[in-house]
A = this chain, B = another copy of it.
């Protein structure tokens, strides 16, 4: 695990902190689609992403979902942080978007290291800021963009975290993530294809205009 730590967090943390993480953290590999956190869960440990990507979703009472943003290598889940702190329930759901490797750190350590390591403190605050910024971007997309623009942004974001201009996804799955209906997505995708921005295939979409 120490190898992964140095590679992904070596530039952020001093050796002593890396050693601490190494001694209390547990390394995990998640398959695609694995659900790390559900809404209402109490969080006992926080994830440090080593590789892969995790998507963060919001859900309302009626079970309608909405994709908020992705978390990647070098990130952590800020929601998790605050949830641990106050022993609060998670407000979001986290699902592995791709096969993902991460290190789980017990929450008690988070607070302890805050006082002990300046670099950890910066990491946590920076993480909060990044997540906040991504949330604002999500708000922008929902509030200011029309469906076709949102859809294209979604496709590009998804291609980005998958490091591949071809994404494996069905229209129905997109509809879930964007909280709309499959028919709407099919319609708009077809338009995007006619505009030459994407290529449609069964179970996959190629983004041309990345």
> Which A residues contact B (CB, under 8 angstroms)?
58, 60, 62, 64, 66, 68, 78-79, 81-83, 85-86, 88, 91-92, 114-115, 118, 121-122, 124-126, 128-129, 131-133, 135-136, 138-140, 142-144, 179
B85 in contact with A126 (CB, 8 Å): yes
A64 to B58, CA, bound (A): 25
Copies in the complex: 2
A122 to B135, CA, bound (A): 22
User: Chain A interface mostly helix, strand, loop or mixed?
Assistant: helix
Q: List 10 A-B contacts (CB under 8 A).
A: A58-B139, A78-B132, A82-B128, A85-B126, A88-B129, A91-B136, A135-B135, A138-B139, A139-B139, A142-B143
* Residue from the set A66, A78, A82 with the largest chain B CB neighbour count within 10 Å: A82
Residue of B whose beta carbon sits closest to that of A137 = B91
A125 to B124, CA, bound (A): 9
A128 in contact with B78 (CB, 8 Å): yes
> In the complex, which residues of chain B have a beta carbon less than 8 angstroms from the beta carbon of A64?
144
A129 in contact with B66 (CB, 8 Å): no
Tell me the smallest distance from the CB of A74 to a CB of chain B, in Å. Answer: 16
A132-B135 in contact given A58-B140, A115-B115 (Cβ < 8 Å): yes
